[in-house]
């Protein structure tokens, strides 16, 4: 493969990334209703994409009902969140002809992850924590992308994600650790945030691999074509799903 071919997707990928970063950072900074609106929109779009991936008879309904359930969940006590979004997912699973369990798992992740991030933003030092989480995922992804392109080497999981290499995966861990070191002071978490960042970064990578497995099983390249250079919303935020869900479990267990 020539150098030009290897880097041919860089321009649209960077342009879309800059636009998404601007919108995301603005919403994170604003918090409140603005951030809630972004979370609901992303949750609804990812649920719509999940429904399309699994050939739902009503993908638009799935996206809208998922967004509505998430919108309610953002303002309800935490004890109601899982039953509410699970109910929406199970209703929509009835429109999927097969593999309803995998669809339900993906759709549930697509709705719970935005709730975890919104809840994180609403807490103490929420802005700092959400910036940390976003940068763990972004830096891990960027470090892995460039290291994998430049260094190559053995594939991480060729049957599922043939483009990923061990060099890129390890670079992602190092990038996540660096972000943890930078935010150890501002978050007040101390040096424990460094290994936590690596674990969250690993979970993000597994989210990426899991979505790749879903697409491979469904015989598609992208979850949709909404984002130039990135494919769909799930294609761009698959790592964030894994990272946010892992962080949510750590918070529920009192580890963070």
pLDDT, block means (10 residues), the chain with 256 residues: 54 79 92 96 97 95 98 93 96 94 96 97 95 95 85 71 78 96 95 96 94 89 83 92 97 87
Q: Is residue 250 part of a domain?
A: yes
Per-residue burial over 188-207, b = 16 or more CB atoms within 10 Å of its CB, e = otherwise: ebeeebbebbbbbbbbbbbb
**Residue 6's CB: how many other CB atoms inside 10 A?**
12
Q: Is residue 191 part of a domain?
A: yes
- Tokens (6 digits) for 239: 């790592």
How many structural domains compose the chain?
Answer: 2
Can you tell me the distance from the alpha carbon of 153 to that of 73, in angstroms, rounded to the nearest whole number? 44
- Residues 70 and 114 both lie in one domain: yes
- Residues 156 and 112 both lie in one domain: no
Q: Is residue 8 part of a domain?
A: no
Can you tell me the distance from the alpha carbon of 205 to that of 84, in angstroms, rounded to the nearest whole number? 28
For residues 51 and 65, the answer to whether their CB atoms sit within 8 Å is no
Look up the pTM and report it: 0.89
Supply the pLDDT for residue 9: 63
Q: Long-range contacts of range 211-219, CB-CB < 8 Å, 24 or more positions apart?
A: 211/106, 211/235, 211/238, 211/241, 212/160, 212/161, 212/238, 213/160, 213/161, 214/53, 214/102, 214/106, 215/53, 216/160, 217/99, 218/53, 218/54
Domain boundary among 75, 93, 122: 122
Domain boundary among 76, 97, 122: 122
For residues 181 and 199, the answer to whether their CB atoms sit within 8 Å is no
Q: What is the mean pLDDT of the chain?
A: 90
Give CA angle at 103 (98, 107), nearest 5°.
155
Q: Is residue 67 part of a domain?
A: yes
- DSSP secondary structure, 9-47, as one string: THHHHHHHHHHHHHHHHHHHHH-HHHHHHHHHHHHHHHH
Question: CB-based contacts of 249: which residues, under 8 Å, 6+ apart?
Answer: none
- Residues 102 and 180 both lie in one domain: no
- Residues 191 and 85 both lie in one domain: no
- Residues 157 and 255 both lie in one domain: yes
Supply the pLDDT for residue 162: 66
- DSSP secondary structure, 53-121, as one string: HTT-S-HHHHHHHHHHHHHHHTTS-GGGHHHHHHHHHHHHHTT-SS-HHHHHHHHHHHHHHHHHHHHHH
Domain boundary among 72, 91, 122: 122
- Residues 130 and 203 both lie in one domain: yes
Q: Long-range contacts of range 190-197, CB-CB < 8 Å, 24 or more positions apart?
A: 193/132, 196/250, 196/255, 196/256, 197/132, 197/136
223: containing domain: 125-256
- Residues 129 and 250 both lie in one domain: yes
């Amino acid at each position: 493969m020539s150098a030009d071919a290897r880097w041919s997707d860089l321009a649209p990928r960077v342009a879309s990334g800059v636009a998404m970063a601007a919108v995301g950072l603005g919403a994170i900074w604003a918090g409140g209703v603005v951030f809630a609106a972004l979370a609901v929109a992303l949750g609804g779009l990812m649920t719509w994409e999940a429904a399309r991936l699994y050939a739902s008879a009503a993908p638009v309904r799935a996206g809208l009902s998922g967004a509505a359930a998430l919108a309610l969940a953002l303002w309800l006590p935490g004890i109601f969140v899982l039953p509410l979004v699970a109910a929406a997912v199970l209703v929509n699973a009835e429109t999927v002809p097969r593999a309803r369990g995998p669809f339900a798992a993906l759709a549930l992740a697509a709705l719970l992850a935005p709730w975890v991030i919104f809840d994180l933003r609403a807490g103490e030092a929420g802005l700092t924590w959400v910036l940390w989480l976003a940068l763990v995922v972004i830096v891990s992804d960027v470090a892995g992308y460039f290291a994998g392109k430049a260094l190559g080497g053995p594939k991480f999981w060729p049957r599922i994600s043939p483009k990923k290499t061990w060099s890129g995966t390890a670079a992602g861990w190092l990038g996540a650790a660096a972000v943890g070191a930078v935010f150890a002071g501002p978050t007040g978490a101390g040096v424990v945030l460094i290994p936590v960042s690596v674990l969250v970064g690993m979970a993000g990578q597994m989210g990426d691999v899991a979505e790749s497995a879903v697409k491979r099983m469904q015989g598609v390249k992208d979850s949709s074509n909404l984002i130039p250079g990135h494919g769909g919303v799930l294609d761009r935020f698959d790592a964030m799903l894994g990272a946010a869900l892992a962080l949510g479990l750590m918070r529920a267990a009192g580890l963070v």
